[in-house]
Amino acid sequence: MIPPPESAAPLALVRQRSLGWRLVWATLVFCALFIMVSVLALTWSAWNEGLTRMDAELAQIEQIYGDTLSKAIWELDREGLQTHVRSAKGIPSVGKIILTVTLANQPAEIFESARTGWTGPGWAPVRKLQLTYAPFPGAREEIGELVLFGDEKVLWQRLRSQLATIVVAQLLQSLMLAGLIMLMFNRMVTVHVRRIASHLEGVRPGNLGTHLSLERSSQSQDELTQLVSGVNQLQGSLASHLERQQRYEQELAQHRDRLAQLVQERTAELQAANERLQSLARTDPLTGLPNRRHFDEAKATEMRRARRHGHSLSLLICDIDSFKDYNDHYGHAMGDTCLRAVAQALRNQLGRAGDMVARIGGEEFGVLLPATSGPAALMLAERLREAVAACAIEHLHSTCAQVVTISIGLAVRESGATEEFGALFQRADQALYRAKAAGRNQVVGPENRDWPAKKGEAA
Ligand SMILES: Nc1nc2c(ncn2[C@@H]2O[C@H](COP(=O)(O)OP(=O)(O)OP(=O)(O)O)[C@@H](O)[C@H]2O)c(=O)[nH]1
C-alpha cells in the first residue's frame, strides 16, 4: 500500500495553521512596524508644529504687549509694568518674562516673572524684542528690551495629548485593516481551500467521477478556478489510467490462465512422449516384447525381491531351432514374421503377474519366473515349447521337425541361495546348450535336481 504523503496532515492541524490567521499575523506585524515609523514621523512633525505654534503665540504676545509696555516705561509707570509682566506670564505658552528698562540717563532696571517650577527654556523658543518709543513723530528712542521664554512643559504636554491621538488612530486603522483582510481572505480563499482539501481527502478510486465544485459565482475566473479545473482534470486522467490498468490486469490474467493451460497441455504431451520414448527404449520393435535393457532391469529387480522375500527365481532361455536355415530358405522377412509369431505364442502362455518374457537376442527369448519353483518352471517351459510347435509354422529345413520349434534351457535359483544372476543365466544357457546338443525341440533342466523330469524333457 502506498503510504500517505507528508502533506496529508489532519484537518485540525490545517486549521491551526490557517492561511487567514497567518495573513492577519503578518498584517499585524507589518502594522506594528508601520505604526512605529508613522508615530515617530508624526511625533516629529507634531513637535515642530508645537514649536512653530509657541513661537507664533510668543510673537502675538510681543505684538500685544510691546506698545503697552513701551508706553508704561516712557511714563515710568512701574506698577503698570509689573502688572503687565505678571499678566503676560499668565498666558499658558509663556514660561518666563524678562523686561529690561534702559532709559537714557537712568540705571537699567529689570522686571522679571517666571512660572512656578520653571527651570529654563530647554527646547522651547525664546523671543527678544527691542522696545522703542516715539514721543513725537520722527523721534524714536530705544527704551528697553523684552525677552519672552516659551514654556517647555507646555510643549511636552501638547505633544503628549497629540501622541495619544496618533497612536490610538493608527492602532484602530491597523486592526480594522487586519480584520478586513482576514474577512475578505476567509470569504474569498480559505473557505474554498478547505472545501478543496476535504474533497481531496475523500477522493477514492471508486468516486473519481465526482467532480469538485466551489460555491461561488460561475463568472469568477481566477487561480481557484484554475485549481478546481486542474483537480478535475487530474481525477479524469486518474480514472482513465485506473480503467486502463484494470483492463491490462484482466488481459494479463487471461494470458496467464491461457499460458498455464498451454504449459499444462505441453507438460502432459511431454510426459506422454517421454513415456512413449521410455516404453520404446525398453521394447523390442519387431516383436513388441520387452527388450534386453528391460529384461536386465527386471532381472535386477526380481533378484532383489527374491533375496528380500526368500523366494526362488526360475529362468528360461528359449531359442528357435535351425533359424538360420529358416532365414536362408524362407527369407529374412518371413524370418521376422516367424519371430513375431513365436513371441506372441510365448506371451500368450504367461498369465501370472510378475512373469516376463523378453527378446534378449536375435532368435533368443528370456523368461523370468519369480517365486516359481523348479517343477512349476519345468511345466511352464514345456507348455511354451508346445505352444510354439502348435503354431505350426512350416520349417521343412529344420533338423528336428517339419515346423518351427524351440529349445529351452532352465535354471532355478532356490530360495536362500546366494548366487548372482550371472551364474543363474550361465546355468540356463548351459542347459539350453545341452538341449540343442540333445537334438533340439526340448526342455533341459538343472543337472543335479531332486524333482523328476517332465514329459518331453531331455534327461
Ligand atoms: N529374420 C530374422 N533373423 C534373425 C534375427 N535375429 C537373428 N536372426 C537370425 O537367426 C539366426 C540364428 O542362427 P544360429 O545362431 O546359427 O542358430 P540356428 O540356426 O537357429 O541354429 P540352432 O540355434 O543351433 O538351432 C541367424 O541366421 C540370424 O541371422 C531377426 O531379427 N530376424
What is the Cα 105 distance to its own chain's centre? 113
pLDDT tens for each residue of 389-443? 999 999 999 999 999 999 999 999 998 888 899 999 999 999 999 999 999 999 9
Supply the pLDDT for residue 77.
86
pLDDT averaged over every residue in the chain: 88
Query: Measuring CA to CA, which residue among 337, 441, 444 is closest to residue 387?
Result: 441
Question: 149 vs 59, 92, 159, CA distance in Å?
Answer: 11, 11, 18
Query: Measuring CA to CA, which residue among 383, 397, 388, 403 is closest to residue 457?
Result: 383
Residue 29 pLDDT level (bands cut at 50, 70, 90): confident
439 lines ligand 1 (CB under 6 A): no
The Å distance, Cα 381 to ligand 1 centre, comes to 21
Q: Residue 153, class by beta-carbon neighbours within 10 Å (0-12 exposed, 13-18 middle, 19+ buried)?
A: middle
Kindly state the helix (H) or strand (E) to which residue 85 belongs, with its residue range: helix 78-89
What is the ipTM for the molecules in this complex?
0.95
Nearest atom (ligand 1) to Cα of 327:
1
Residue 93 contacts residue 150 (beta carbons within 8 Å): yes
The Å distance, Cα 40 to ligand 1 centre, comes to 136
Catalytic residue among 152, 302, 363, 457: 363
The CATH class, in words, for 292-444 is alpha beta
Q: Where are the domains of the chain?
A: 21-172, 292-444
- Pairwise pLDDT comparison (327 vs 193), residue with the higher score: 327
Residue nearest to atom 31 of ligand 1 (CA): 362
pLDDT tens for each residue of 61-102? 888 888 888 888 888 888 888 888 888 888 888 899 999 998
408 lines ligand 1 (CB under 6 A): no
Kindly state the helix (H) or strand (E) to which residue 326 belongs, with its residue range: helix 323-330
* DSSP E strand stretches across 269-371: 313-320, 356-359, 364-370
Residue nearest to atom 23 of ligand 1 (CA): 321
- The pTM is what? 0.52
* pLDDT for residue 324 is more than 90: yes
Query: Measuring CA to CA, which residue among 82, 127, 123, 121 is closest to residue 101?
Result: 82
Nearest atom (ligand 1) to Cα of 362:
6
Q: Choose the residue to mutate in 327, 359, 365 for probing ligand 1, maximizing ligand atoms within 8 Å of C-beta.
A: 327
Residue nearest to atom 32 of ligand 1 (CA): 336
- Pairwise pLDDT comparison (174 vs 2), residue with the higher score: 174
Q: Is 363 a catalytic residue?
A: yes
pLDDT tens for each residue of 349-385? 998 988 999 999 999 999 999 999 999 999 999 999 9
What is the Cα 126 distance to its own chain's centre? 85
332 lines ligand 1 (CB under 6 A): yes
Residue nearest to atom 9 of ligand 1 (CA): 324
pLDDT tens for each residue of 100-142? 998 877 888 898 888 888 888 888 999 999 988 887 787 788 8
The Å distance, Cα 324 to ligand 1 centre, comes to 4
C-alpha span between 370 and 415 (Å, rounded): 11
The CATH class, in words, for 21-172 is alpha beta
330 lines ligand 1 (CB under 6 A): no
C-alpha span between 187 and 33 (Å, rounded): 27
The lowest-confidence range among 95-99, 177-181, 280-284 is: 177-181
Residue 377 contacts residue 412 (beta carbons within 8 Å): yes
Residue 242 pLDDT level (bands cut at 50, 70, 90): very high
The Å distance, Cα 294 to ligand 1 centre, comes to 22
Q: Choose the residue to mutate in 286, 289, 291, 324 for probing ligand 1, maximizing ligand atoms within 8 Å of C-beta.
A: 324
409 lines ligand 1 (CB under 6 A): no
324 lines ligand 1 (CB under 6 A): yes
- Pairwise pLDDT comparison (28 vs 147), residue with the higher score: 147
211 lines ligand 1 (CB under 6 A): no
Query: Measuring CA to CA, which residue among 105, 103, 93, 53 is closest to residue 73?
Result: 103
Residue 369 contacts residue 313 (beta carbons within 8 Å): yes
DSSP state for residue 342 in the 8-state scheme: H
Residue 454 pLDDT level (bands cut at 50, 70, 90): low
Supply the pLDDT for residue 103.
82
Is there a common fold for 21-172 and 292-444? no
* pLDDT for residue 2 is more than 70: no
The lowest-confidence range among 167-171, 208-212, 217-221, 411-415 is: 217-221
